[in-house]
């Protein structure tokens, strides 16, 4: 019989091994490697923040570019052209009633010619033989020697002259 | 109750600081946890220095990459680190076990004879301890750890765990028996 208590194997093999003398070298190496990863995390975070800010800026720029109203078109107004003097009214350009009105206010020397022109215009442009007849009659009444026939006379004027001639002849015969 | 809350608040703060890239916070955390982790890994390796160095290094690199997943309210940082180390050790010994089952060619072409070399035999002994520890349940491993690695007495463990000394003594006896069985020693 053995009085010495048997030593447990656990006490032998589970006793912690002594710390290696150069354990600090590994400690520093691992610290450096892990710290580098932490630092990288910081830079990644900053880079992420920077990228987010840049994205916001770009988004803002794009928004203002695409959503802002289009610039107003500049309309250049040309300087006013120099006033062109209106042509002097003339019997050639005025309408028949105006020429007739003009003839009524004209001097005696011009009146017969103006009525004649007003009559021509009534007949040719307005197709108004009655008005033309009125003007021709006034023209013949105003102008001396106008009753003589002319190749420029139109049918209405010739008919009036003819009638006036016949009237004169009849009156002479009667007297 | 005050102490765990304090610990949770502190470790939450450190985790947030590290996630924000605060190198000083990481350094403080590292310095605080390095020695206990190294001692634990070396113990779990049966004193195999090269394996302990490799596993400790890998544990810290994993920890710094995965610190976002560390939940202080679920356990202390030291325990989380130990969990990472245990996984790495398991993988390591699984790989070496696979290698050791393959017959190595000797000079005369047959399998190698049992190594007579002292260093080799020490290594084999250490690997045996490591494998035996790896086979234990979490609770058995924990009680052996606080008893042998941290050198705490039964009363101390009982107070820390909220158990009676008798319960702890009983647990310790069962843990030792489990270790002996895994190690291959007759009871």
Across B59-64, average pLDDT: 96
Interface test with B, best of A6, A7, A14 (most B CBs within 10 A): A14
Question: What tokens appear for A38 in the block?
Answer: 């932490």
**How many CA atoms does the CB half-sphere of B105 hold within 13 Å?**
3
| H helix intervals, B20-153 | 23-44, 49-66, 77-101, 118-135, 138-144
Say whether pLDDT at A36 is over 60: yes
Chain A hits for B60, Cβ within 8 Å: 30, 33-34
The verdict on a CB contact (< 8 Å) between B64 and A37 is: yes
Looking at the complex, report in whole angstroms how far the Cα of residue B64 sits from the nearest Cα belonging to chain A: 6
Q: What is the pLDDT of residues A59-76, one digit of tens each?
A: 888 888 787 777 777 778
Chain B hits for A15, Cβ within 8 Å: 148
User: Which pTM was predicted?
Assistant: 0.60
- Cβ(B82)–Cβ(B89) under 8 Å? no
The verdict on a CB contact (< 8 Å) between A17 and B34 is: no
Q: Does residue A162 or residue B78 have the better pLDDT?
A: B78
pLDDT given at position B105: 47
Residue B18 buriedness (CB in 10 A; 0-12 / 13-18 / 19+):
buried
pLDDT band of A4, cuts 50, 70, 90 = low
The verdict on a CB contact (< 8 Å) between A33 and B176 is: no
Residues 6+ apart with CB under 8 A from A93: A87
Is residue B72 helix, strand or coil? helix
pLDDT given at position B41: 94
Q: How many CB atoms lie under 10 A from the CB of residue A112?
A: 20
* Cβ–Cβ contact B166 with A under 8 A: no
* Cβ–Cβ contact B28 with A under 8 A: no
ipTM of the complex: 0.79
Q: What is the pLDDT of residues A101-130, one digit of tens each?
A: 988 888 888 888 888 889 988 988 888 999
Say whether pLDDT at A19 is over 60: yes
Q: What is the pLDDT of residues B125-174, one digit of tens each?
A: 888 888 899 889 999 999 999 999 999 999 999 999 999 999 999 999 99
Across B40-67, average pLDDT: 93
pLDDT given at position A50: 87
Taken in order B41, B47, B50, B51, is the CA torsion positive or negative?
negative
* Cβ–Cβ contact B122 with A under 8 A: no
Measured distance CA(A140)–CA(A160) in Å, rounded: 9
Among candidates A29, A34, A42 on the partner chain, residue whose Cβ is nearest the Cβ of B21: A42
Return the percentage of chain A with pLDDT > 70, whole number. 89
Return the percentage of chain B with pLDDT > 90, whole number. 65
Residues 6+ apart with CB under 8 A from B79: none
Measured distance CA(A82)–CA(B103) in Å, rounded: 115
Among candidates A15, A19, A39 on the partner chain, residue whose Cβ is nearest the Cβ of B148: A15
Nearest chain B residue to A37 by CA distance is B64
- Cβ(A140)–Cβ(A161) under 8 Å? yes
Q: Does residue A2 or residue A47 have the better pLDDT?
A: A47
């Amino acid at each position: 019989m053995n009085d010495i208590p048997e030593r447990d194997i656990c006490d032998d093999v589970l006793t912690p091994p002594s710390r290696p003398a150069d354990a600090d070298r590994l400690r520093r190496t691992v610290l450096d490697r892990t710290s580098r990863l932490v630092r990288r995390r910081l830079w990644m975070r900053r880079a992420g923040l920077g990228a987010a800010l840049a994205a916001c800026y770009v988004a803002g720029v794009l928004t203002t570019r695409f959503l802002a109203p289009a610039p107003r078109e500049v309309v250049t107004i040309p300087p006013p052209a120099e006033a062109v003097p209106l042509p002097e009214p003339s019997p050639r350009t005025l309408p028949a009633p105006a020429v007739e009105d003009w003839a009524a206010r004209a001097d005696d020397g011009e009146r017969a010619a103006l009525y004649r022109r007003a009559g021509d215009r009534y007949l040719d442009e307005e197709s108004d033989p009655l008005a033309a007849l009125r003007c021709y009659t006034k023209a013949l009444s105003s102008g001396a020697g106008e009753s003589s026939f002319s190749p420029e006379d139109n049918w209405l004027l010739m008919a009036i002259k003819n009638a006036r001639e016949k009237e004169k002849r009849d009156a002479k015969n009667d007297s | 109750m005050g102490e765990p809350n304090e610990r949770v608040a502190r470790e939450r703060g450190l985790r947030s600081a590290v996630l924000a890239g605060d190198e000083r916070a990481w350094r403080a955390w590292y310095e605080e946890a390095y020695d206990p982790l190294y001692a634990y890994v070396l113990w779990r390796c049966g004193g195999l220095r090269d394996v302990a160095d490799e596993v400790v290094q890998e544990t810290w690199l994993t920890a710094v990459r995965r610190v976002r997943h560390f939940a202080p309210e679920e356990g202390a940082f030291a325990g989380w680190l130990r969990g990472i180390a245990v996984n790495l050790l398991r993988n390591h010994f699984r790989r070496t076990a696979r290698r050791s089952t393959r017959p190595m060619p000797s000079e005369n072409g047959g399998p190698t004879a049992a190594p007579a070399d002292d260093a080799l035999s020490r290594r084999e002994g250490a690997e045996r301890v490591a494998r035996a520890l790896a086979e234990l349940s979490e609770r058995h491993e924990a009680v052996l750890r606080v008893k042998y690695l941290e050198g705490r007495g039964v009363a101390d463990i009982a107070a820390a765990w909220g158990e009676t000394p008798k319960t702890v003594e009983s647990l310790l006896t069962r843990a030792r028996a489990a270790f002996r069985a895994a190690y291959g020693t007759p009871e």
